[in-house]
């Protein structure tokens, strides 16, 4: 049976970097589910039609890591029809052998509620804003405003709001280097794999 790791958390908490590190370490498949929503938002037009017709090639667009794509993703993610159209794609991905790591905002609560391990990765607002600003070459104060707007929208949406699963392990990366966060997560995964 495939081993599924669900990683949730707000933007720039380190969840994507951590997910890639775990996938590399355990040789699991990795899906940044935020890219699905970024692609739907970036494609424009009717978001439901875009979600229903999303292809793997759409996830390779070079503009998906921009702040604009992130804001567009947060807007289209509030549409229950968009979310429903993308659920099957994510669930199929999650059951690939030998395992899969999915990161997003509703993986442990909606997409993979039976995941072998659920992590909720977080960091304080200023740290996240500084990280995203450095990544994008943007103003940290502006990033802070955008992240807080996005967090509020993601947490308040009626369908699949951003929140930790009840059985998620909380990992606060505010004062952690990515190597330390990855090492801590590897220990958690290893414990579940050998249990």
Binding-site entries: 9-17
Q: Specify whether the CB–CB gap between 157 and 78 falls below 8 A.
A: yes
Residue 114 has a pLDDT of 96
- What CATH number should be reported for the domain holding residue 120? 3.40.50.300
DSSP sequence for 33-66: THHHHHHHHHH-S-HHHHHHT--GGGGG-TTTTS
Cα angle vertex 126, ends 131, 183, to 5°? 55
Domain of 29, in residue numbers: 3-191
Choose among 189, 191, 169: nearest CA to 5. 189
Helix (H) or strand (E) holding 135: helix 125-136
b/e per residue 157-182 (b: at least 16 CB within 10 A):
beebebebbeebeebbbeebeeeebb
Q: Which residues of the chain register pLDDT less than 70? A: none
Residue 112 has a pLDDT of 96
Residue 160 has a pLDDT of 81
Q: How many structural domains comprise the chain?
A: 1
Cα angle vertex 21, ends 58, 112, to 5°? 65
DSSP 3-state of 6: strand
Q: How long is the chain?
A: 195
Residue 195 has a pLDDT of 79
Maximum separation of any 2 CA atoms in the chain, in Å: 47
Binding-site entries for ATP: 9-17
């Amino acid at each position: 049976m495939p081993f599924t790791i669900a990683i949730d958390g707000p933007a720039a908490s380190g969840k994507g970097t951590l997910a890639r590190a775990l996938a590399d370490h355990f040789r699991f498949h990795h899906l940044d589910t935020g890219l699905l929503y970024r692609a739907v938002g970036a494609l424009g037009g009717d978001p439901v039609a875009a979600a229903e017709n999303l292809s793997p090639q759409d996830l390779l667009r070079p503009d998906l890591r921009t702040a604009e794509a992130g804001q567009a993703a947060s807007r289209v993610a509030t549409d229950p029809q968009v979310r429903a159209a993308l659920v099957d794609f994510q669930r199929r991905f999650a059951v690939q052998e030998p395992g899969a790591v999915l990161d997003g905002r509703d993986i442990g609560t909606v997409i993979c509620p039976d995941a072998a391990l659920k992590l909720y990765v977080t960091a304080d607002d200023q740290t996240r804003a500084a990280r995203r600003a450095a990544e994008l070459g943007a103003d940290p104060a502006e990033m802070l405003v955008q992240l807080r707007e996005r967090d509020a929208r993601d947490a308040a949406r009626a369908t699949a709001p951003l929140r930790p699963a009840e059985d998620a392990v909380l990992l606060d990366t505010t004062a952690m280097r990515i190597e330390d966060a990855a090492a801590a997560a590897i220990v958690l995964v290893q414990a579940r794999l050998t249990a």
